[in-house]
Amino acid sequence: MVEDGADIPGSYWGDEEAGLIANQLLLRTDTPLHSILHETCHYVCLDEARRAGINTDAGGDYDEENAVCYLQILLSDHIEAFGRTRMLKDMDSWGYTFRLGSARAWFEQDAEDALDWLLQRNLINEQQQPTWNLCKD
């Protein structure tokens, strides 16, 4: 936890958005849950070498970023009083952009590549439930 009002180290976007440095997720009490989950999912999706050296920018490619977004939506269902509907709304409000115009449309109609990416790395199972593993490669 970072003191309220202080800059969040490792935050790519600044302001109240979560930060990520090595194995530390940094946040304040005003950090939005979508941001906390997004940075957490970056950590999960990084390979071991990149995970150890991460500082602010997770890097990665387009497919990995899509997988991160997909996983954060799945994980939101495991947070009581939050869930998928709220996550999708928050993603749209914050400004995540998707070809089909909304996070929901992307997730439901255009995210097969993200689903495959997560399945191939054993980060979710065939029922689209998290395996609670970290990416190995």
With a CB cutoff of 8 Å and minimum separation 6, the contacts of 136 are 47, 48, 121
- Which pLDDT value is given to residue 4? 95
- Which pLDDT value is given to residue 16? 95
What digits encode the pLDDT tens for the residues 3-54? 999 999 999 999 999 999 999 999 999 999 999 999 999 999 999 999 999 9
- Which pLDDT value is given to residue 56? 95
Domain ranges of the chain: 19-120
In the chain, the N- to C-terminal Cα span, in Å, equals 29
User: Torsion angle, CA of 52/37/75/137, rounded to 10 degrees?
Assistant: -20
Helices 62-76, 112-120: crossing angle, 10 deg rounding: 90
- Which pLDDT value is given to residue 95? 85
What digits encode the pLDDT tens for the residues 81-90? 999 999 999 9
Query: Alpha-carbon distance 25 to 40, whole Å?
Result: 7
pLDDT of 137 higher than 80: no
What digits encode the pLDDT tens for the residues 92-130? 999 888 888 999 999 999 999 999 999 999 999 999 999
- Which pLDDT value is given to residue 96? 83
In this structure, which amino acid lies at residue 70?
A: Y
Three-state SS at 11: strand
